[in-house]
Homo-oligomer: A and B are copies of this chain.
Amino acid sequence: MSETLEKFKAFLEEKNQYDHVTTLLYWDMETVTPKAGQAGHVDALTYFSTKSFEMGTSKELGEMLDTLAKPEEFEALDDTMKFIVTRMKRDMDKDKRIPKERFEAFVRAQAEAGNAWRDAKNASDYSVFAPHLRNMIEMTAEMAGYTDPGKEVYDVLLDKYEESMDSATIDRLFEDLKKELIPLVKQILAAKQPDDTKFKGNFDINAQREVQQLLLDYIGFSRESGAVGETEHPFTLNFCSKDVRISNHYHETEPLSAMFSAIHEGGHAIFEQNVNPEYDNTVAGSCNYMGVHESQSRFYENILGRNKNFWLPIYDKLGELLPQFKEISLDEFYREINHVRNSLIRTEADEVTYCFHIILRYEIEKAIFRDHVAVEDLPELWNEKMKEYLGITPGNDAEGILQDMHWSDGSFGYFPSYLLGSIYDGMFLETLEKELGSVDKLLAAGKIGEITKWLNEKIHWYGSTRVPKEVIQNVCGEEVSAEPLIRYFKKKYTEIYNL
């Protein structure tokens, strides 16, 4: 090993310590830290994020990367190290243009905006969040101006969360979907709806926690390399492939909510637990493409979790844990978990109308960064679009524009990833069935492990080393298209609703 490579590896190991504790501080703030202790954690998070940022943009690192990028050194590296050097050099060239004090201010503002968002949502008072949102918009644009000067801000943001999927591609995919889904949803909503009476009532929270564990074990979440916490807004986070954590929120009157959140976050976690462990603690490990990531959480949540056969092997156990389910047949259950409604909350939406929740957010984000719509006008714009796509209007901002935390930490451009994930899922499903046969049959036979193994080998293993376009090309051998997803929706809901 060259002297520079050795030094570089030691440097990465040290930088990883700072990233490790910022991850931990974040986890703890969202799952454990009491209210009065938040400020202490924000201080520490700011301090250590800044330390990591300083290391990641330091002259020392820059010189090592320059040396390792020289042909004679580069050619001697293994493939993983080649990826790491190339990727870090690219990121560093962008990030080093951010002034340290602005980065530090941004991290602190993110944490403060997160707290303000929580307070605003609890009080359903947009005015509490508005100044923080304005600040996050301005600072996010400012950061994009440093990293990618001269580029359109929203394009920079889209690329940040789903590299290789530009806004022209996203516009095309979303327009294709809209064209087909608007009439489909109209047809569905006009059809006979199932009776959901049996799903009303109070469902024991402790039993819901046990159901979550049942589901996680069933889909293949490793407890050896995983942990579970409780939070306001469910999320997944990982230190490396050996420590991946999900969090959930239990609602006494909404038993399906925590179940599908568990499957969703479990899908994210299974991805991270199965990345090549050689990539741990480097830019090759973990998956940094949010569309690809969401494709896996949503594959488990929707393609598998909303399939009747997914439940066959475990439905009796579900009834043992939550006795109300003994009174609900599997057919009734299946109908309810695919009950299409025009509803207000994204995370509670069925898989079809969910698409509109994302398209709405995508269009609002474009309105913010391209049309510069003022922050005080956003709730109205939100409500208008809810009316347009779903025919309903939020009763207050907590169930409208304040429902999601994403904008509070400046994650503008993240939302489209969810729908891209579903679009990829349509493609993955068709390929998987070509290679392994019917998913219905695999699930009914209790062979969900074979599906997970396929996803592990085709997608998870590669972590961040393949960008989304490459993932799709490698798995499906085709360009990205919304057609498979549209076919999936049409077939499934035509059957369910007798259209």
Q: Contact residues of A with B, CB < 8 Å?
A: 14, 17, 20-21, 24-25, 27-28, 32-37, 39-41, 43-44, 47-48, 206, 222-227, 229, 239-240, 242-243, 245, 281
| Residue from the list B21, B34, B222 in contact with A24, Cβ < 8 A | B21
In this complex, which of A17, A48, A240 has the most chain B Cβ atoms within 10 angstroms of its Cβ?
Answer: A17
Chain B residues with Cβ under 8 A from A222's Cβ?
A: 36
| Residue from B14, B37, B47 in contact with A17 in the complex, judged by beta carbons closer than 8 Å | B47
Smallest Cβ-Cβ distance to A39: which chain B residue: B242
Give the one of A14, A39, A226, A242 with max B CB within 10 A: A242
In the complex with contacts A25-B24, A243-B33, A48-B17 CB distance below 8 A = yes
Most buried by B among A32, A41, A43: A32
> Within the oligomer, what is the number of copies of this chain?
2
Question: Are A229 and B32 in touch, CB under 8 angstroms?
Answer: yes
Give chain B residues whose Cβ lies under 8 Å from the Cβ of A206. 206
**Min distance, Cβ A210 to any Cβ of chain B, angstroms:** 10
Residues of chain B contacted by A223 (CB below 8 angstroms): 34
In the assembled complex, how far is the CB of residue A337 from the closest CB belonging to chain B, in whole angstroms?
Answer: 26
The residue from B36, B40, B225, B245 contacting A36, defined by CB atoms under 8 A apart: B225
Q: Which residues does chain B contribute within 8 Å of A35, judged by CB atoms?
A: 224-225
Residue from B44, B243, B245 in contact with A21 in the complex, judged by beta carbons closer than 8 Å: B44
A40 and B242 contacting across the interface, CB-CB below 8 Å: yes
B17:A243 contact, CB within 8 angstroms:
no
Asked whether, in the complex, the Cβ of A21 is within 8 Å of the Cβ of B25, the reply is: yes
Q: How far is the CB of A108 from chain B (nearest CB, A)?
A: 14
CA distance A225 to B243 in the complex (A): 28
Chain B residues positioned under 8 Å from A41 (CB to CB): 20, 243
Residues of B within 8 A of A227 (CB): 32-34, 37
Chain B residues whose CB sits within 8 angstroms of the CB of A17 once the complex forms: 43-44, 47-48
Q: Which residues of B lie under 8 Å from residue A225 when comparing CB positions?
A: 34-37
A242 touches B24 (CB 8 A): no
Chain B residues with Cβ below 8 Å from A224 are 34-36
With both beta carbons as reference points, the residue of chain B lying nearest to A19 in the complex is identified as: B44
Task: Chain B residues near A245: list those with CB within 8 A.
Answer: 32
Tell me the bound Cα distance from A469 to B33 in angstroms: 35
Closest to A44 in B: B20
* Complexed CA–CA distance, A245 and B20 (Å): 21
Closest CB in chain B relative to A30 CB, distance in Å: 12
Q: Residues of B contacting A48 with CB < 8 Å?
A: 17, 21
**A32: chain B residues within 8 A (beta carbon):** 27, 227, 229, 245
Q: Known pairs A21-B44, A34-B225. 5 more at Cβ < 8 A?
A: A17-B44, A24-B24, A27-B32, A36-B224, A37-B239
Residue numbers in B under 8 Å from A27 (CB-CB): 28, 32
CA distance A240 to B43 in the complex (A): 13
A281 contacts across to B, CB distance below 8 A: 40
Residues from chain B with Cβ under 8 Å of A226 in the complex = 34
Q: What is the CA–CA distance of A24 and B245 in the complex, to the nearest angstrom?
A: 16
Nearest CB of chain B from residue A28's CB, rounded to whole Å: 6
How far, in Å, is A176 (CB) from chain B's closest CB?
A: 42
Least Cβ–Cβ distance between A229 and chain B, in angstroms:
7
Residues of chain B within 8 A of A243, CB atoms compared: 33-34, 36-37, 40-41
The minimal Cβ–Cβ distance linking A429 to chain B, given in whole angstroms, is 31
A31 and chain B: residue at smallest CB distance = B32
Task: With a 10 A CB-CB cut-off, give which of A20, A21, A35, A44 has the most chain B CB atoms.
Answer: A21
Cβ contacts A to B, 17 pairs, < 8 Å: A20-B43, A20-B44, A21-B21, A21-B44, A21-B48, A24-B24, A24-B25, A27-B32, A33-B227, A33-B243, A34-B224, A34-B225, A34-B242, A35-B225, A36-B225, A40-B242, A40-B243
Chain B's nearest CB lies how many Å from the CB of A24? 6
Interface-central residue, A20, A48, A222, by most chain B CB under 10 Å = A20
| CA distance in complex: A47, B44 (Å) | 16
Q: What 9 A-B pairs have minimum CB-CB distances, sorted nearest first?
A: A37-B243, A36-B242, A206-B206, A36-B225, A21-B21, A17-B47, A20-B44, A34-B227, A32-B227
Residues of B contacting A36 in the complex (Cβ-Cβ under 8 angstroms) = 222, 224-225, 242-243
Q: Do the beta carbons of A40 and B28 come within 8 Å of each other?
A: no
Residues of B within 8 A of A34 (CB): 223-227, 242-243
- Inter-chain contacts of A229 with B (CB < 8 A): 32
Q: How far is the CA of A229 from the CA of B32 in the complex (A)?
A: 8
Whether A242 contacts B28 by the Cβ 8 Å rule is no
Complexed CA–CA distance, A43 and B226 (Å): 18
The complex places the Cα of A37 from the Cα of B239 at a distance, in Å, of 8
